[in-house]
Amino acid sequence: MTALPTAPGPAANTAAHPGPATAGSRHRRRRVLTAIAVAVAVVAVAATLAARYQPIAYGGLSNSAELFPGLPPGHGIHAVNNLGGFSQDIYLPPQRGPFSLLASLRNNGPYPITIESVSLPAGGPVLAAPVRYSTPGMGGSSQIPPPVSRILHDIRLGPGQTMFLGFLVRTSPCAQRRYWMRVPSFNVRVGFGPFTRTVAIPWGTGGDSLLLHAPAGHPGMPGTFCLPRTT
C-alpha cells in the first residue's frame, strides 16, 4: 500500500515561529535604542542649559569710576542721580587725553567660567588701549584693586571669585550743552564649556550708567563747549 503523507512535525515550523533566542535579541535591541534616545535627549537638554548659563554680574565694588592703578585718572568724574543711595550714575565730563574707568566682575555661579574679552558699546567712551584686569591678592597686594595688572584675555574666573577691570578710554573734548548720552553697560564675552555668549553688565550693582554730554564737533559750534587745549 502507498503510505499517506503525514503533516509536518514541530521542526518544520521553527522558521515561522521565532524561538526564545530571537525574541530576546529583539528585546535587547529595543532596550539599547531606548537608552540611546534617552542619552541623546539628556545631552540636548544639558547643551541647552549650558548655552543659556549666565552667572556673571557686577562685582559689588562700590563704583565711582575711579582710576585703575597704573592708568591715568580722569578729571571731574563724580556720582550723580544718587538720591536715596540705592543706585547712582557716573558723570564723565569731556576730557583731553586718555583716562581710566574702573569696574568689577563676579562669578555668582557654581561652575568656573572664562572671561574671554571685555569691550565698550559704540557711541560712548572709546577704548584707547586693551582692557586690563587684576584679582584680589595679585602680586601679594591686599589693595582693592591691587596695583599689579595684566591685559585681559581668556581669564578663568572660579565660583565666587571677583576680578577688577581697568578701561583706558578717550572722549570727545567737545560736547553739546543741552543734550546728554547714557551708557548703561559694558560688554563681557563669557565662555562656558564649548559655548560663548556676550553679556551686558551695568556699571554698578544698582544698574548704574555712565552719563555724559553728547559729543559735538568742534570749538565755536553753536550750543557746544570744548575743553581748552593743553600746552
**Of 5-19, 79-93, 146-160, 166-180, the least confident:** 5-19
Evaluate whether residue 19 is within a structural domain: no
Three-state secondary-structure class, residue 67: coil
Q: Is the pLDDT of residue 231 over 90?
A: no
How many domains is the chain partitioned into structurally?
A: 1
- Dihedral of the CA atoms 120, 129, 65, 124 (nearest 10)? -40
Helix then strand then coil, % of the chain, to nearest 5:
15, 35, 50
Residue 41, in any domain of the structure: no
What pLDDT, on the 0 to 100 scale, is given for residue 102? 92
Q: Is 179 contained in some domain? A: yes
pLDDT tens digits, residue range 81-114? 877 666 788 999 988 889 999 999 999 999 999 9
229, pLDDT greater than 90:
no
Residue 66 lies in a domain: yes
Within a domain: 168: yes
Question: Tell me, what's the pLDDT at 221?
Answer: 84
- We report the CATH number of the domain holding residue 204 as 2.60.40
Domain span at residue 159 reads 56-226
pLDDT value of position 21: 57
Q: Report pLDDT for 22.
A: 75
Residue 123 inside a domain? The answer is: yes
pLDDT band at 45; cut points 50, 70, 90 = very low
pLDDT of 185 over the 90 cut: yes
Is the residue at 42 inside a domain? no
pLDDT of residue 187: 97
Q: What is the pLDDT of residue 25?
A: 81
β-strands 89-91, 210-215: how paired? Answer: parallel
Burial 79-117 (b: 16+ CB within 10 A, else e): beebeeeebbbbbbebbeebbbbbbbbbbebeeebbbeb
Q: What is the pLDDT of residues 122-132, one digit of tens each?
A: 888 999 999 99
Q: What is the mean pLDDT of the chain?
A: 82
- The lowest-confidence range among 36-40, 105-109, 156-160, 181-185 is 36-40
Whole-prediction pTM: 0.75
Q: Can you give the pLDDT at residue 188? A: 97
Q: Is residue 33 part of a domain?
A: no
- Distance (Å, whole) CA 212 – CA 183: 8
